[in-house]
Amino acid sequence: MTDKNGTRWRWIGIAAVVLVGVLVGTGAYTAQRAQALSYLSNDPKACVNCHIMRDVYDSWQKAPHHAAAVCVDCHLPHDFVGKWLAKAENGWNHSKAFTLQNFHEPIRIHAKNAAILEHNCIGCHQNLIGGVLQAQTSYGQAHAEYAADDKGAHLGCVNCHKDVGHGP
Amino acid sequence: LQNINTRQAEARETVFRVVEITEDTVDPEVWGKNFPLQYDSYKRTVDTVRTRYGGSESFQKLDQDPRLRIIWNGYPFAVDFREDRGHAYMLVDQRQTERVKQFNQPGACLNCHASVVDAFRKAALKGGLPADKVHTSEALFEGFKIINKMPYAEATQLVDHPVSCLDCHDPKTMAVRITRPAFINGIRALAESKDPVPHLPSLERWRQGNRATPYDPNTDASRQELRSMVCAQCHVEYHFAKPDKTLTFPWHNGLKVEQIEQHYKEVGWKDWTHKDTGADVLKAQHPEFELWSQGIHARSGVACADCHMPYTRVGAVKVSNHHVRSPMLGVAQACQTCHRYSEEEIKARVAVIQDRTKKLMDSAEDAVVGLIQAIQTAKAAGASDEALARARELQRSSQWRMDFINAENSQGFHAPQEAARILAEAIDLARQGQLEVVKITPRPTSR
Amino acid sequence: LQNINTRQAEARETVFRVVEITEDTVDPEVWGKNFPLQYDSYKRTVDTVRTRYGGSESFQKLDQDPRLRIIWNGYPFAVDFREDRGHAYMLVDQRQTERVKQFNQPGACLNCHASVVDAFRKAALKGGLPADKVHTSEALFEGFKIINKMPYAEATQLVDHPVSCLDCHDPKTMAVRITRPAFINGIRALAESKDPVPHLPSLERWRQGNRATPYDPNTDASRQELRSMVCAQCHVEYHFAKPDKTLTFPWHNGLKVEQIEQHYKEVGWKDWTHKDTGADVLKAQHPEFELWSQGIHARSGVACADCHMPYTRVGAVKVSNHHVRSPMLGVAQACQTCHRYSEEEIKARVAVIQDRTKKLMDSAEDAVVGLIQAIQTAKAAGASDEALARARELQRSSQWRMDFINAENSQGFHAPQEAARILAEAIDLARQGQLEVVKITPRPTSR
Ligand SMILES: [Ca+2]
Ligand SMILES: [Ca+2]
């Protein structure tokens, strides 16, 4: 997007947020209009209510897992509380980002969510990789290292399986 | 909320056409009425920002690296050679270069510096082509033939725009298309050659077929291939073949540096005779397509447009960024879609590749200059043409290789290892040339 | 998910420990009782399959490329130099090489050819180390010191196994660990140097820290870094520093070819004096870690183990393949998880890189041999040491570069552009050496 647009969006965005701050009702309305409430659903189509999620939705359908897992299986904690907390947080973040248009593109997963993601990989594949994991107490440091850098010092599943979620 | 509504609206409004566009719509501004986003970015190729090794500031390269004056001595490039910049400047820069002002150049120069589609057609009609054939490729080939051999001053009056929408797009479908006869001839020669081209699957397919009709990019090439071929109409090595100054791409044996050299040998081509040494030498020009072809990106199906015209989101729609420029000025769109590293990291990787190339380039230029001066001295000392023959051959082939990477505009990025290999050969051949010369010149008394 | 669950039982077995493993468990077979899958693959390093440029058939490289006899003349490598093969052979191959049979070698050789952990500790105890310190790194450093300077024949009797589980793993946690003092010294020197090492983030972090304690791979390195460092204990350039034959990795200025050369200059090191030319020259040995460090894979966090010990699915579980070998023999596991191309395509890409390297290697060896013969002739013709000094220097540095890539075992794959750059410099320097020589030798009368 051009800088000109960028600043325009930002101003409108800030205006919007102030509004939200004052009137919670309006906040809900924003989320409503942005269909962020679709976070309350597990249906992948809920995610694509935001066109911005279209690419990942399409690529997910072509990736190895479309039959095995939906968005929330990978991207949200499986335990009840954590799931709803994350839904709240991400739902808010995404609506806000969508409104402010101030996020980095191409969209990149945030460290926190990357950790949730990996946890979910293991959740489903425990059996296959259990041998590897249990053999290495050093695995424990893995999540801690997420902050480290983007050069793969952390040996996460995605280091080698970057295609599983959304294809090459 | 305002903008959510706006954007949901935008999402729908993408392909609504205001004006009708035909094969005769030359002015990009008119196209811009239907495609304002692409037109906006297209106009931005006037920007002039510099990068580590590229960018758009048209400084004098001969001052930055005086060795080039020696290497090109006797050829127009030794008078004026600048950093290239955006498409918006292609026509003025050609009209204003000392290479045009001080030397006679043919209309053939215009093939790559202007929107010539319409000019070619008009010339063909004037040349007697039946009016109903004006929109056929025959017309383009006819006009090509006529304008190539015109004097530049005359030909340049037939064009008004730099490369424009019409040159790259079919006005009906907006599909990317090939309009340049020189490329069609060149890619056909390549298709008929034996050089493996894994990065151009449609050529490989054509080779396996019955070859009844010659290879035609407009019907045979995939969309992804066209996203590179459209650039390969201009970003390639070329020469003006005798007798009609026919713009020709030397791909008859393949796209590699030695295969092109081989073709020039077969057709007995030289660009000029070097002023200091009397060697018949070659000048390389912007072989981006040829070098890219040897790289891992081409092999992985990554097209020129993927990096130089990356899809960019404007509001709700994604458009190809027509602000064609150095990807280093927009790494997020150009690279991060495929490479999950920070912008700093990506820039650092490019710097490593380009710095290595630069270092080798310096050694190669030193070696070539060393050879030129050695031959010059020997000649002055009275060495005969027979005696100098081998050394001159070595100058031709070493200089050709060094120049190939020097003229290529990515500082080795398009194919890092291949660029290094070519420079290594340039160095080897130039040094061997020096050894040849020493054999035949009186030895400076030492020891 | 049915199929996943049904594999449960099978899966659990893999981590059930049958026997207890301690720091004193030297025999891999015992470890194999707990980790049968890893042990099975470990044993398979006896296989001997050949690839285009690598593989595991221990043929005589001196016959395949006789130029090497000239280049190494006067040094043991000119007598016997074979293609390397699997870890299972490391001890026998060392015991049986003519380089050991015909020449005196020190115990230092064993550092990388045997399971030495236990031997080091026993030697330290014998040397007076208190028994309660036997499992400290102090013990390893002590034994290292003692065994390095022993005669090979004596030292080799202290070991029975090729590199084994104990050398790479902590028996309690099975975490990968560093056991070699030479590497710990080397990586510390590197950490203290100024050479940027973006591929080793933990070194960069240590540099930013207060440096109170020296860098320690076993506590500071990430798991992914250890997956390469464990190999870098052996797959590196080395020399035996005087007076105690201390195995030393020359990383004090950095990992690049010229930085290592600089270090050897600073400590006044030479491997031998060339028999034909009298030049004090260097021998490079397997700088896999050093070259990999300059490549895009290292920079992308891809470790040795990712490609040479890829996870392999065995029934319901996946394990690191301990059949360490050429990845070309198992492209599916080694490459395809990251590169979604057909096996043929992946092999073709490697071939392109390696063929380019091979071509440059040939030119480089020709140039070096040319220089050697030139100096030899000049010497025979009576050229003085003063007159030959510069040419000999050039032999040293050109030969060093050519040898660096020749000794490196990936035929340039680990860092394609860097390998090409190094060979280009080798060629340039060797040819310049020849020009030096011509200056001082009677010129064959021509013209
Ligand atoms: Ca430029
Ligand atoms: Ca081998």
Among the partner residues B1, B315, B336, nearest to A1 by beta-carbon distance: B315
Which residue type occupies B283?
Answer: K
Q: How confident is the model at residue A123 (pLDDT cuts 50, 70, 90)?
A: confident
Distances (CA, A) of C99 to B42, C77, C95, C103: 67, 7, 9, 6
Query: What is the C-alpha R_g of chain B?
Result: 23
Contact (Cβ atoms closer than 8 angstroms) between residue B84 and residue B324: no
Spacing, Cα B85 to ligand 1 middle (Å): 4
Q: Which residues contact A166 (CB under 8 A, 6 or more apart)?
A: A56, A59, A60, A63
Q: What is the DSSP string of B136-158?
A: SHHHHHHHHHHHHHSBHHHHGGG
Please check whether residue C358 touches B, CB under 8 A.
Answer: no
Q: For residue B446, is pLDDT > 70? A: no
Best A73, A126, A128, A134 member to test C by mutation, with max C CBs in 10 Å, is: A128
pLDDT per residue as tens digits for the range B78-105: 999 999 999 999 999 999 999 999 999 9
Distance CA C318, CA A127 (A): 9
Q: Scanning the structure block, which residue is given the tokens 């020197």?
A: C189
Q: For residue A20, is pLDDT > 50? A: no
Query: Reduced to 3 states, what is the DSSP secondary structure of residue C249?
Result: coil
Which residue type occupies B276?
Answer: D
Among the partner residues C8, C173, C320, nearest to A138 by beta-carbon distance: C173
Reduce the secondary structure of B35-50 to three states and give it as a string. CHHHHHHHHHHHCCCE
Contact (Cβ atoms closer than 8 angstroms) between residue C396 and residue C280: yes
Question: Please, what's the b/e burial string for B58-92 (b: 16 or more CB within 10 A of its CB; e: otherwise)?
Answer: beebbeeeebbebbbbebbbbebbbbbbbbbbbbe
**How many Å is the maximal CA-CA distance in chain C?**
87
Nearest to C219 by CA among C139, C209, B188, C391: C209
Interface contact flag, B345 A151, Cβ < 8 Å: yes
Q: For residue C31, is pLDDT > 90? A: yes
Spacing, Cα B55 to ligand 1 middle (Å): 4
Distances (CA, A) of B391 to A43, B68, B378, B395: 74, 20, 10, 6
CA distance B238 to chain C (A): 26
Distance CA B202, CA B206 (A): 6
Residue B82 forms beta bridges with which residues? Answer: B60
Distance CA B68, CA A139 (A): 57
Among the partner residues C301, C316, C338, nearest to A127 by beta-carbon distance: C316
Percentage of chain C with pLDDT > 90? Answer: 91
Query: Reduced to 3 states, what is the DSSP secondary structure of residue B15?
Result: coil
Contact (Cβ atoms closer than 8 angstroms) between residue B247 and residue B149: no
pLDDT per residue as tens digits for the range B363-421: 999 999 999 999 999 999 999 999 999 999 999 999 999 999 999 999 999 999 999 99
Q: For residue B171, is pLDDT > 80? A: yes
CA distance C333 to chain B (A): 20
Residues C265-271, mean pLDDT to the nearest whole number: 98
Interface contact flag, C317 A128, Cβ < 8 Å: yes
Which residue type occupies C203?
Answer: L
CA C74 to chain centre: 23
Contact (Cβ atoms closer than 8 angstroms) between residue C343 and residue C329: no
Residues C21-43, mean pLDDT to the nearest whole number: 95
CA distance A80 to chain C (A): 21
Residues A26-41, mean pLDDT to the nearest whole number: 45
Contacts 24+ apart (CB under 8 A), B124-133: none
The pTM (predicted TM-score) of the whole model is 0.93
**B365: nearest CA in chain C?**
C428
Interface contact flag, C420 B417, Cβ < 8 Å: yes
Mean pLDDT lowest among B202-211, B312-321, C83-92, C211-220: B312-321
Bond prior to C250 in cis (omega within 30° of 0): no
Work out the burial of residue C268: count CB atoms within 10 Å of its CB; fewer than 13 is exposed, 13-18 middle, 19 or more buried: exposed
Please report the pLDDT score of residue A140 as a whole number: 40
**Residue B38 corresponds to which tokens in the numbers above?**
């692409």
ipTM, 2 dp: 0.91
Contact (Cβ atoms closer than 8 angstroms) between residue A140 and residue A30: no
Work out the burial of residue B373: count CB atoms within 10 Å of its CB; fewer than 13 is exposed, 13-18 middle, 19 or more buried: middle
Spacing, Cα B325 to ligand 1 middle (Å): 8
Contact (Cβ atoms closer than 8 angstroms) between residue C374 and residue C350: no
Interface contact flag, C227 A125, Cβ < 8 Å: no
**Residue B81 corresponds to which tokens in the numbers above?**
């050679």
**C37: nearest CA in chain A?**
A131
